[in-house]
Amino acid sequence: MTAPIIRLRNVVKTFGDFTAVDDLSLDIDAGELFCLLGGSGSGKSTLLRMLAGFESPDSGTIEIDGKDMRGVDPADRPVNMMFQSYALFPHMTVAENVGYGLRRMGLAKAEVATQVAEMLRLVKLEALAQRKPHQLSGGQRQRVALARALARKPKVLLLDEPLSALDKKLREDTQFELMNIFDATGTTFIVVTHDQEEAMVLATRIAVMDAGKFVQVDTPRQLYEFPKTRFVADFIGNINLLEATVTGPGRSEGLAALHCEALGAVEAACDGEVPPAGAHVWLAVRPEKIALSTDTAAPGYDAVVDDLGYRGGDTQYRLRTASGAALKVTKPNTERQGQRPVDWDTPVRIAFAPEAALVLRQ
Ligand SMILES: Nc1ncnc2c1ncn2[C@@H]1O[C@H](COP(=O)(O)OP(=O)(O)OP(=O)(O)O)[C@@H](O)[C@H]1O
Ligand SMILES: [Mg+2]
C-alpha cells in the first residue's frame, strides 16, 4: 500500500461567521480521478483552492504527497489548477499559452518547445499551435487550458468545472477525451462538477458535498445502487422515495418487509442490518427498475398513467398508485413503434424485485 497522495484531516474554512468547508477528512490515492460533486455553494471550489494553496484552512491539515502544506506557496506545491473560468492569455498563441508555466520555471527554449509539442499532441491540437484563443472553438480552448495545466507535470491536477462552458454533445465527447488524457498521463485528477452524470462517467470515486460536508464518498456504482441517504439517492439520478414502516424481516437474508402507504405490503433490500419492526423508513426504487405491464392480472400493484414524456431513447411515465401516490417509471424504447405502448389514463400493473428496491433510514 502506498501512502495517499492527498490526505485531509478535519479541514475547516470559514468566511466571517459562514462555514464553507466543515470538518472534512479524506484520503485520495495516486492515480485516482476523484470528483467533488455538489450543488452551488456546497464548498467544492473552496476545497480545491485550499489544495492549490490559494486559501488556507482555519484548522485541520492538508498533506499532499506526504508533506504538510501549511505555509507552502501555490507555486511550490506538486499541484496545478485549472480554474472554473479557464482564462487563456488572449494575446498569446496556443503554443505560448501551453508553454507559459514552463518558461516561468526557467526552462531552456528548446526544452520548452519539446514539452509544448508533447502536450499539444496529447490534447490533439498540434495543427492549431499558432492560433490565438479567439480563433478556437470552446472545446479547443478547453483543451489548451488543460494542456497548459498539465505542462508542468503536476502530481495532482485540480480541475474546477473544466467542461462547464461546453454544450451537451461537445461536453460528452470531451469527457471521454479527458479520460484518455488522464489514462495517458497517470496524473491524479481532482475534478469539481455539479453535473452528476459527468461525475458518474469520469470518476473512480465521487464525494457528494452538501453545505461544506461530505455526505457520501463512494464509487459511482455504489452511490447509484446503494445511496446511504435520501439526499444522495435523490441527488444522483432519478428515484422514487416512498414513506414506509418496517413490519419485520423479509423472506430472505438482507430483505425487510415493509408497509408502504403508496403500495401496501412490499419487500426491499437493506444495506446493512434490517431495521427493527416499527422503524420509520423510506422505500427507494429507481424508475428504470420498475416493470410496467398493461396486463391487469399481472403480479404487482395497480396504477394509472398520469403523464408521459417521450424522450427518444426512453419514455418517462408518471403513474398514480391506487392510494394516490405519484411514481416515476422509465422504459427504454428498444423498438421503433408507430404507437405508444402505454398511453395516458391506461390502467397498468407495476412490479419490482425486492433486491431492486432499497430501504433508507435517513
Ligand atoms: N472569499 C469568500 N468570502 C466569503 N464567502 C465566500 C468566499 N468564497 C466562497 N464563499 C462562500 O462559500 C460557499 C462555498 O463557495 P464555493 O465557491 O466553494 O462553492 P461551490 O461549491 O464551488 O459552488 P459553485 O458550484 O457555484 O461553483 C458559498 O456560499 C460562497 O458564497
Ligand atoms: Mg465553484
Q: Which amino acid residue places its CA nearest to atom 22 of ligand 1? A: 45
Q: Which amino acid residue places its CA nearest to atom 8 of ligand 1? A: 46
Residue 25 within any structural domain of the chain: yes
CB 194 within 8 Å of CB 37: yes
Among 231, 255, 281, give the residue marking a domain's end: 231
Out of 167-171, 278-282, 283-287, which region has the weakest mean confidence (pLDDT)? Answer: 167-171
Question: Which residue has cell 490515492?
Answer: 29
Residues 32 and 171 in one domain: yes
Nearest to 286 by CA among 332, 234, 243, 250: 234
Pull the grid cell for residue 52: 492549490
Distance CA 65, CA 6 (A): 6
pLDDT digits (tens, 9 = 90+) for 11-65: 999 999 999 999 999 999 999 999 999 999 999 999 999 999 999 999 999 999 9
Residues 86 and 211 in one domain: yes
Number of folded domains in the chain?
2
Residue 144 within any structural domain of the chain: yes
Report, as an integer, the average pLDDT of 131-138.
91
Residues 259 and 338 in one domain: yes
Residues 279 and 218 in one domain: no
Report pLDDT for 339. 56
Report, as an integer, the average pLDDT of 164-176.
80
Q: What is the pTM of this model?
A: 0.89
Report pLDDT for 262. 92
Domain containing 275 — which CATH number? 2.40.50.140
Residue 1 within any structural domain of the chain: no
Among 200, 231, 262, give the residue marking a domain's end: 231
**Which of 11, 12, 14, 15 maximizes ligand 1 atoms within 8 Å of its Cβ, making it the mutation to test the pocket?**
15
Residues 103 and 222 in one domain: yes
Residues 203 and 245 in one domain: no
Residues 115 and 206 in one domain: yes
Residue 347 within any structural domain of the chain: yes
Among 231, 248, 268, give the residue marking a domain's end: 231
Q: Which amino acid residue places its CA nearest to atom 19 of ligand 1? A: 41
Residues 246 and 209 in one domain: no
Rounded to 5°, the CA angle 300-304-306 comes to: 140
Query: Looking at the predicted structure, is the pLDDT value of residue 166 above 80?
Result: no
Specify the pairing of strand 18-28 against strand 6-15. antiparallel
Centre of ligand 2 to C-alpha 328, Å, is 31
Report pLDDT for 1. 56
Neighbouring residues of 225: CB distance < 8 A, sequence distance ≥ 6 = 358
Residues 200 and 264 in one domain: no
pLDDT digits (tens, 9 = 90+) for 96-123: 999 998 999 899 999 999 999 999 988 8
Centre of ligand 1 to C-alpha 15, Å, is 9
Nearest to 240 by CA among 301, 299, 168: 301
Domain containing 143 — which CATH number? 3.40.50.300
Nearest to 193 by CA among 215, 159, 161, 234: 161
Distance CA 360, CA 362 (A): 6
Residues 272 and 169 in one domain: no
Distance CA 59, CA 44 (A): 17
Residue 78 within any structural domain of the chain: yes
Phi-psi category of residue 251: left, alpha or beta, with phi > 0 → left and psi -120 to 50 → alpha: alpha
Residue 66 within any structural domain of the chain: yes
Q: Is 20 in the pocket of ligand 1 (CB under 6 A)?
A: yes
Domain of 198, in residue numbers: 6-231
Query: Looking at the predicted structure, is the pLDDT value of residue 338 above 80?
Result: no
